[in-house]
Structure 1
Amino acid sequence: MTSVQKVLAVLEQGGFKRLAKPLTVVGTEFDFEAAASGTHTSHDLVLVATDQVPRKRLQRLVAGLARSLDLAASRRPVSLVLIGGVTASERMELERYARVLPVSSTTPHIAEIEEAVAVLLPLKLPNAELVHGSDPVNEVMEALGSLNRTRDHIALIKAAADGPDAVREALRRYANDGAGWTDEVENDDE
C-alpha cells in the first residue's frame, strides 16, 4: 500500500469519501495525487500530495484550486496532507490557500498519518463501560476498611453526597464536638 493509499484509508475510516482523479471544480481539472471530501460532520476538502510533486507546481495547483472554489462560492475548508515534509517558506506559501498537515516520513506508518490528520478525524472516546469506575463513596469506604470506619467517617462520607458545603458543615460540627464547643450563642443580657 502506498503512502497516498494509507492516507486515503485513514480518511475513509474517519468518514471521508474518496474523490475521482483528476479533481474537477467549476470545469477545471486539478491533478492532485488524491483528494477526499468530508461527509456527515466534516465538510473539508482534503488534498493529498507527496514530495514527488515539484513544490512550485503544487503551489500553483493549490492556488488555482482556491480561486476555483471562490468562483464556485464554496465554503469548504481545504486541507493539504503533504507526505514527505515541507520547508518553512514552502509551508507559508501553501498556507495562504489551505491548512497544511505535514507527514514528515515518505513511508509513514498509519499512526503517523493519524496524528498528522487528527484535526480532521472524529474524536475517539474511550468506551464508557471501561471508564465508568465504581462509586467513589464505596471506594472511600473500602479504603477505610471496616475496622477503621467510625461514626464520624460515615457522617462525612454521607455529607459528600450533598456537596462541598455539606462536607464543610460536617467537618465544622466534627471540630466543634472535639473542642467541646456548641452552636449555641450565649446571651449576655440574661
Structure 2
Amino acid sequence: MTSVQEVITVLEHAGFERLPKPLTIAGTEFGFEAAVRGTHTSHDLVLVATDQVPRRRLQRLVAGLARSLDLVASRRPVSLVLLGGVAASDRIELERYARILPIASTRPDTAEIKDAIAVLLPLQLPNVDLVHGSDPVNEVMTALGLRKTTPEHIRLIRSAADGTDAVRETLRRYANEGADWNDDVEEDNE
C-alpha cells in the first residue's frame, strides 16, 4: 500500500468518502493524487499530494480548484495533506487556498498520519464504562482526610461547584447558625 493510500484509508475509517480520480469540479479536472470529502459531521474536501508533484504545479492546481469551488458556491473547507513536507515559502502560497497538513515522512506509519491530520478526525473520548470515578464529594472528603462527615461538610463542599461566593455564603450561614444568630437585621429605633 502506498503512503497516499494509507492516508486515504485513515480518512475513510473516519467517515470520509473517496472521490473519483481525476477530481472534477465545475467541469474542470484536477490531477491530485487522491481526494476525499467529509460526510456526516465533516464537510471538508481533503486533497492528498506527495513531494513528487512540482510545487508550482501544485500551487496552480490548488488555486484553480479554489476558483472552481467559488464558481459553484461551495462552502466546503479545503485541506491539503502533503506527504514529504513543504518548504515555508511554498506553504505560505498554498495556505492562501487551503489548510496545509504536512507529513514530513514520505513513508509515514498510521500514527504519524493520524497525528498530522488530527484536526480532520473525530475526537476519541474514553469509554465512560472504563472510567472508574466516584462521587466528587467523597473524593474531596478523602483528600481532606475527613473520616466522619456531617451534613454541613457536604453542604460546604457542594457549594464549591457554584463558586467562591456560594462557599462564603454557606460558611456565613453555618457560622450564624452556630452562634444562634439569625439573618434578620434589627433596625435601631432611636
Q: Shorter-chain TM-score category?
A: 0.7 to 0.9
2:7 is aligned to 7
- The letter of the residue matching 1:55 is R
- The letter of the residue matching 1:28 is T
Q: 1:66 to 1:160 in 2, by over 3 A?
A: same
2:67 is aligned to 67
1:155 to 147, 152, 157: 152
Q: 1:68 to 1:177 in 2, by over 3 A?
A: closer
Give me the whole-angstrom Cα distance separating, in 1, the residues matched to 2:180 and 2:135.
34
Give me the whole-angstrom Cα distance separating, in 2, the residues matched to 1:154 and 1:39.
52
Identity of aligned residues (%): 71
Give me the whole-angstrom Cα distance separating, in 2, the residues matched to 1:101 and 1:107.
15
Give the 3-state SS of the residue equivalent to 2:105 in structure 1: coil
- CA drift at 1:11: 0.8
- CA drift at 1:144: 6.0
Q: 1:43 to 1:177 in 2, by over 3 A?
A: closer
CA RMSD of aligned residues (A): 2.8
2:181 is aligned to 183
- CA drift at 1:145: 6.4
- CA drift at 1:149: 2.2
Give the 3-state SS of the residue equivalent to 1:161 in structure 2: helix
Give me the whole-angstrom Cα distance separating, in 2, the residues matched to 1:161 and 1:78.
47
Q: 1:137 to 1:21 in 2, by over 3 A?
A: same
Q: Is the 8 A contact 1:49 1:80 kept in 2?
A: yes
- CA drift at 1:79: 0.9
- CA drift at 1:27: 1.8
Give the 3-state SS of the residue equivalent to 2:6 in structure 1: helix
Deviations along 1:29-83, one digit per CA (max 9) or x if unpaired, are 1111100011111111111000111111111111221222222222221111001
Alignment of 1:158-173 (within 5 A): 158-162=155-159, 163=162, 167-172=167-172
1:24 is aligned to 24
Q: 1:47 to 1:183 in 2, by over 3 A?
A: same
Give me the whole-angstrom Cα distance separating, in 1, the residues matched to 2:12 and 2:173.
61
- CA drift at 1:2: 1.5
- CA drift at 1:175: 5.9
Q: Is the 8 A contact 2:152 2:174 kept in 1?
A: no
Unmatched 5+ stretches in structure 1: none
Bigger drift between 46-55 and 153-162 goes to 153-162
- CA drift at 1:14: 1.4
Give the 3-state SS of the residue equivalent to 1:24 in structure 2: strand
2:119 is aligned to 119
